[in-house]
Amino acid sequence: MRRYLFSVYSLLFFLSLMLLSALLSSVNTIQSSYRLFLWSLYGCIFIISLRFPIKFTHQKTFLLIIFFSAAFLYIGHIFNTSLFSFLSDSAYQFILPSYGSHNHLGDLAGLGISSLVLSVSHPFFTALLLIFGLIIMALSYSKSAFLGVIVTLTIIAYIKRGKYIFLYILVLFFSLCIVGIYTRELSGIPLVQSSQKIMKQRFNLNSKPLLSARDYYFPQVIRAWKSSPVEQLFFGYGSGNYIYPSVKTGVTTDLTPMETHNIILSIFIENGGLACFWFVVFCVSIIILGIKSENESVYLFIFLLANFQTDWTYTMPFFMSMLFFFAGQSIHQGGKNVFIKSSLFIQALSFVVILSGISGISHIVVQNNKKNLDRQLMVAYENINITEAERIIRELELITPYEEKELVAWSSYEESLGNIPEAIRFLEKLSIYSPRWYILYLPHQLDLQTRNGVDLKKYLEGREKEFDAFSLTNDEKDKLNSICDEYANISCIR
């Protein structure tokens, strides 16, 4: 077996299992089909990259152009917020405003630094670029970027030794100093405290805990996994659907993660253990082949993979595209192209292209279907056509793109149409997706049940075990008990 076949087949097995997960257990078909479409495109990038090698100097040049363009926008916006107004007003920001206050420019800087370290043509000029990149990493306030650089340089220094050991020591020292300044637990040290004050005044950056809530995010995945029905233990919730078990089992209202912040855990809970296994096999095979081939691209693959263990950059198409591009480039043997049979290339590329087409068309069809059903529902509601409205709601319930919001809206429709039992059912269903939304709408639900002749005391007593399973804060428990006391003179949760 040719050495690259294992990587190709493991990726194809992985993508096939992702498709199976989407078909069998997707909570949100719109989100799942979109994510599957992206993953299949990443597969296309890998296959094409495997077939067409690019010189590492060209790869480095491309990365540096992207990095310096982004850094120019970032710095200009810091000094004059009227410049590049499409950027966020926060200094903790990259070019993508949709990601809120997160700045991932540091992750791009770390990728650029890794490429500079591997290919030094002009030492003085390279040193200046490295210093600039490290400064941007410091300003970006991203510990995951430093983690990726340290892991990558550790492996480079171990394999190549020589000058890389000295460089590794310098970057490690700089990284520890910067991360120390970020860290809230070290604010008692006078020098760190002064640095944090400057950081706050000049860049509006507050210190943050050492683990940055990862000590909550990672155990949260296990809590969500344990709450899964049997079929979702094996096949997951579908790509992009981690938020639903997370919301259901989160232990704090203020910190319910939409992402696991770890690509391995994300695949594990969204697509199942078997899919996760084949993704790990794919990554390990790329690293082994890349290091054996003495191909510098593998270290950029390692940087991104390390970065993806503690940050949600893996949800960003740019970074994921780079991961699979470098994966394909890593297999080529130190400047010599790997010969790939045309038949295998065509078959593998055809598979991922067909998968891209299926998932892309599915996403468009489901999205358009939902829009049409929403319009039909409004017409049925305006015409007070109860039978037609209920039929449409049943179809929408199978799509469920935004469960909490949709369930409340559907409950309101059913109530307006006089179908009180169905209005109650949708509000009860909130407890599946979000206990907090359930508590928010519980008073209205109990009012509806009173109108429907339900014995509220028996109803609430019958749900005590379910209430005990909710992961709620003390304030939320008090709120729930207050509602139960008001409507039935009982305490629903301890």
Query: How many whole angstroms separate alpha carbon 330 and alpha carbon 324?
Result: 10
The answer to whether 267 touches 256, Cβ cutoff 8 Å, is: no
Asked whether residue 288 carries a pLDDT value surpassing 90, the answer given is yes
Reported as a pLDDT band with limits 50, 70 and 90, residue 127 is: confident
What are 307's two structure tokens? Answer: 């970065």
Phi-psi region of 63 (alpha: psi -120 to 50; beta: other; left: phi over 0): alpha
What mean pLDDT is predicted for residues 84-100? Answer: 48
pLDDT digits (tens, 9 = 90+) for 313-353: 898 888 999 999 999 999 887 656 666 778 888 999 999 99
- pLDDT for 100: 37
Residue-averaged pLDDT of the chain: 82
Reported as a pLDDT band with limits 50, 70 and 90, residue 15 is: very high
Fill in the DSSP letter of residue 238.
-
What are 292's two structure tokens? Answer: 């054996």
Reported as a pLDDT band with limits 50, 70 and 90, residue 49 is: very high
Domains parsed from the chain with CATH numbers: 5-352 (no CATH), 361-488 (1.25.40)
Q: Which residue has the higher pLDDT, 78 or 124?
A: 124
- pLDDT for 91: 43
Q: Of 122, 139, 17, give the one whose Cα is nearest residue 74.
A: 139
What mean pLDDT is predicted for residues 441-454? Answer: 89
Reported as a pLDDT band with limits 50, 70 and 90, residue 90 is: very low
Type and span of the H or E element at 473: none
- pLDDT for 278: 95
Query: How many whole angstroms separate alpha carbon 305 and alpha carbon 314?
Result: 9
Query: How many whole angstroms separate alpha carbon 149 and alpha carbon 137?
Result: 10
Fill in the DSSP letter of residue 185.
G
What mean pLDDT is predicted for residues 429-434? Answer: 75
The 3-state DSSP class for residue 134 equals: helix
- pLDDT for 428: 84
pLDDT digits (tens, 9 = 90+) for 352-392: 999 999 999 988 998 898 889 889 988 888 888 888 888 88
Query: How many whole angstroms separate alpha carbon 201 and alpha carbon 481?
Result: 44
- pLDDT for 321: 94
What mean pLDDT is predicted for residues 416-432? Answer: 84
Task: Give backbone dihedrals phi and psi of 183, rounded to 5 degrees, phi first.
Answer: -80, 125
- pLDDT for 308: 93
Asked whether residue 102 carries a pLDDT value surpassing 70, the answer given is no
Asked whether residue 52 carries a pLDDT value surpassing 70, the answer given is yes
* Residue found by looking up tokens 């595209």 in the block: 321
What mean pLDDT is predicted for residues 24-49? Answer: 88
Judge residue 386's burial from the number of C-beta atoms within 10 Å of its C-beta, 0-12 exposed, 13-18 middle, 19 or more buried: middle
What mean pLDDT is predicted for residues 395-417? Answer: 81
pLDDT digits (tens, 9 = 90+) for 166-221: 878 888 888 888 777 777 777 778 777 787 777 777 666 677 777 776 777 777 78
- pLDDT for 244: 72
Query: How many whole angstroms separate alpha carbon 100 and alpha carbon 149?
Result: 24
Query: How many whole angstroms separate alpha carbon 406 and alpha carbon 374?
Result: 11
